[in-house]
Amino acid sequence: MSAPMALYVYAISDDSHPLDLDGIKGVGASPAELHTVRGDSLCAVVSEAPEDLSVARRDLEAHHEAQERLWAEGTVLPLSFGFVAQDEETVRAVLEERAEQFTQRLEELAGRAEFNVKGLQEEDAVLRSVLEESPEARALNEATRAGGGTQQDRLALGQLVAEGVQSHDEALAAEVLAALRPLALTEKVAPPSRQYFVNASFLVEDERGEEFTRTGEELAERLGEGVELRIRGPLPPYSFT
């Protein structure tokens, strides 16, 4: 007797979802076809779990593409990458044990989508801004140019620039959040990083999706040269499941 087949789980839906799985590619180098496991009122979309699953571009893209195809047809709860269940009985048991919780969340997310906003700025542009706004930093920069100035001058300049960049990033992030927050139901904001001065996900009602995108694009133009806002959406509500 063969061992139960481990399953990779993509999403959960209710039984009203059309679940058209034709042509959806799953994860793995040789992806198995997607199929459903049904509970009393809920369904899980799964495929045979590959042995070669990895956090690589191929599998991440397949995971998200499957979820986005499903989301386009109706509301689903997208699971995090890498969720593997022991077998169909395990999946069915979870669907039935947590049916009330899953159903409530599906109802809460119906007619809503996620928009992700990332803000980047060119390093040269922000450094120019810091020097323009700080006479002290500008003087130290002149003093240390071409190897001049003391070690203390260089340390002081580095500290002023770091503080100025942080302040500049915080101001830009606050402006972006203030403009987009009124158009969303809720948000999740990641800590700022060296790459992004803002990285936030917003849960937006479908009827406000175009307005949200348009507002983001207009804001990007106002922020000026050297600043870029990347807006992705509508997406399945990855951050709000």
How does strand 112-121 pair with strand 227-235? antiparallel
Written as one string, the DSSP assignment of 161-198 is HHHHHHHHHHHHHHHHHHHHGGG-SEEEEPPP-SS-SE
Q: What is the pLDDT of residues 184-237, one digit of tens each?
A: 999 999 988 888 999 999 999 999 999 999 999 999 999 877 889 999 999 999
Q: How do the domains of the chain map onto residue ranges?
A: 7-109, 113-240
Ranges in the chain, pLDDT < 50: 1-2
For the chain, give the longest Cα–Cα distance: 80
**Is the pTM value of this prediction over 0.85?**
no
DSSP strand E in 24-94: where?
35-38, 42-48, 77-78, 84-85
- Bridge partners of 78, per DSSP, are 11
pLDDT of residue 18: 94
Mutual angle of helices 99-109 and 88-97, in 10-degree steps: 70
Per the CB < 8 A criterion, the answer to whether 190 and 200 are in contact is yes
Task: Dig out the tokens for 152 from the structure.
Answer: 């203390």
